Amino acid sequence: MDESEIKARKKMLRLEIKQKLNDFSKPSAEFKEKSEAACLNFLNTEEYKNCELLLCFISLNDEINTDLILKTALLQKKTVAVPRVISATEMDFFLLKNELPLENQLIKGSFSILEPADFLEKISPDFLCKKTTVALLPGLAFDKTGFRLGRGKGYYDRYLARTGNAIDFPLFGFCFDFQLVASVPHDEHDFPVWQIITESGTQISKQKPFF
């Protein structure tokens, strides 16, 4: 499959999943219930329980609400970092403070999404390999070989590439069951996740990366 075909198939899949998310994510008891179940499934993993550093995204309205995960990790005194877009192509992660309420550390940033406030400390990608780290990644879709479909900006893949392609910590994909698809188009720039967590539990579980 050539690059243009991969892009075309990704575009079609994005439209399909975005429509499903739009239909499902309207405020409802079901959305809240499944979101909480997915969060608890992640919090009950051994990888999370044993990690020192958690990289976690701040959810959009149509994504599983990660507030429960972030607040639990801060309460448990884990080191927690969340992303901020710093340019049209790059993002960095910034450390949250355990002693402050989560809502006091977030501001509306790029694309009108919540990001870490300016007073928080940036970490470098090589810092991730100095601690027992777990990363929780968003995605519009995932397949059972671990490949993820992002929103098309490539921020996570470029950030992970800055670690030198020597990632030795678990990458978790996080989504609802209906976001699992048979196949996600991908190329050599796409990083697969090691595990996928949904409201039903762990969908794949690998102890080593696929690449």
For residue range 43-71, list pLDDT tens digits in order.
999 999 999 999 999 999 889 999 999 99
**Token pair belonging to 119:** 């007073």
Three-state SS string over 115-161 comes to EECCCCEEECHHHHHHCCEEEEECCCEEECCCCEECCCCCHHHHHHH
Dihedral sign of CA atoms 201, 190, 23, 31 in order: positive
- Predicted confidence pLDDT, tens digits, the chain (211 residues): 677 887 888 889 999 999 999 888 767 889 999 999 999 999 999 999 999 999 999 999 889 999 999 999 999 999 999 999 998 889 999 999 999 999 999 998 866 789 999 999 999 888 888 889 999 999 999 998 899 999 888 898 888 888 765 577 889 999 999 999 999 988 777 778 999 999 999 887 665 544 3
Q: For residues 58 and 104, what is the distance between their CA atoms, to the nearest angstrom?
A: 14
CB 73 within 8 A of CB 56: yes
